[in-house]
Amino acid sequence: MKGTDGFPVRIRFNKQGPVRFISHRDLARAFERAFRVGELPLAFTQGFVPRPKVGFGLALSLGHESDAEYLDFELTTDPGVEGLGAIVNQALPDGIAVTGSVALADRAPSLQESVTTVGYDVEVTNEADEPSVAAIEAALQQALERTVLEVPRTRKGREVTEDVRPALRRVELLEAEPASAVLRCELAMQPRNARPGDLIAALNSVADPIGARLGERRVVRTHQWIERGGARLEPLEADPRLRVPEARAS
């Protein structure tokens, strides 16, 4: 976290089950309550209306689940990260749980500007009267062979068309049943991003009109990565606080 004099921490957490339908604002409130209940020494901003120094990563679409969400926050004292997850988890709602934590380096870049690629498992259904996994496979192959995939998007209240093909890093058919399939994909977040809904729209744009018409059934965010110097890092690995070795007594 930039401009900090305290002790920044980064945690990884999941969001699964019915809690996937709570809003981003309600999620923030849940964590702030957990910090209070756990009596963590949370740092606050200066000014007329002090606010807790908390920074979430990339927003997760309402209704989507995740195994890899991240949150940065700052403490006034260094409590150590061992046992931090257990303290916070005691007050979090069912379906949200901290799964990892790390002491963060001072002035580390924010999650919003650091994360470059996101992984998803997207379960899609075939809305055609006759189920056809072959049609899903054909649509996927056609989409990945194209150099341009334009999909409609809403920008500042206006409908626009954007090319999402450069943001589709990797897409593969993971599982397939007669009327549904699971697509494992990696989507870029920079310089242009793509969402699972964009992937489905792109597949539908090239699908055989009498074959597959895909709809979204379940989406799980599985990974987030920070890419630097040719290396791909999980956010807990990217900017850890380096511990200064204790001086030995002479």
| Domains in the chain: boundaries | 7-114, 117-228
What CATH number should be reported for the domain whose range is 117-228?
3.30.70.3190
Q: Counting Cβ atoms within 10 Å, is residue 164 exposed (0-12), middle (13-18) or buried (19+)?
A: buried
pLDDT digit string, tens, across residues 169-200:
999 988 777 667 899 999 999 888 899 999 99
Among the four given CATH numbers 3.10.50.40, 3.30.70.580, 3.30.465.10, 3.40.50.720, the one describing domain 7-114: 3.30.70.580
Q: What is the mean pLDDT of residues 222-234?
A: 94
pLDDT digit string, tens, across residues 58-73:
999 999 999 999 999 9
7-114 and 117-228: same fold?
Answer: yes
pLDDT digit string, tens, across residues 203-227:
888 876 545 578 888 999 999 999 9
Q: With 80 as the cut, is the pLDDT of residue 1 above it?
A: no
